[in-house]
Amino acid sequence: MTTELATTTLNESDLLRLGQLAIDAGAEIMRVYEGEFDVQIKGDQSPLTKADLASHAVIAEGLVQDFGHISVVSEEDADSHDAPEGKRGSFFLVDPLDGTKEFINRRPDFTVNIALIENQRPTYGIIYAPVRKALYIGDVAAGLAYRIEAENLARLTLADFTPLKVRSAPPSLAAVCSLSHNSPETEAYLDLYGVTERVAIGSSLKFCLVAEGQADLYPRLGPTMEWDTAAGDAILTAAGGKVLSRDGTPLIYAKPRFFNPEFFAQGDVAFKVPN
Question: Residue 100 annotated as binding?
Answer: yes
Query: What is the SS3 assignment for 49?
Result: coil
Asked whether residue 139 is marked as a ligand-binding residue, the answer is no
Beta strands in the chain (DSSP E): 40-41, 47-48, 71-74, 90-98, 111-118, 121-129, 134-139, 144-149, 162-163, 174-178, 197-201, 217-220, 224-225, 242-244, 259-260, 263-266
Instruction: Please tell me the distance from the alpha carbon of residue 32 to that of residue 240, in angstroms, as a whole number.
Output: 36
The 10 Å Cβ neighbour count of residue 267 is: 26
| DSSP per-residue string spanning 97-140 | EE-HHHHHTT-S--EEEEEEEETTEEEEEEEEETTTTEEEEEET
The rounded distance, in Å, linking the Cα atoms of 165 and 112 is 21
Enumerate the β-bridge partners of residue 266.
217, 242
Distance CA 89, CA 32 (A): 35
Annotated binding residue 95: yes
Q: How many separate helices (H) and strands (E) can be counted in the chain? A: 6, 16
Paired residues of 243 in beta bridges: 265
User: Is 14 known to sit in a ligand binding site?
Assistant: no
Residue 44 labelled as part of a binding site: no
What is the separation of C-alpha 49 from the centre of its chain, rounded to a whole number of angstroms? 20
Please report, in range form, the residues annotated as the binding site. Answer: 75, 95, 97-100, 228
Please report, in range form, the residues annotated as the binding site for substrate. Answer: 75, 97-100, 228
Please report, in range form, the residues annotated as the binding site for Mg(2+). Answer: 75, 95, 97-98, 228
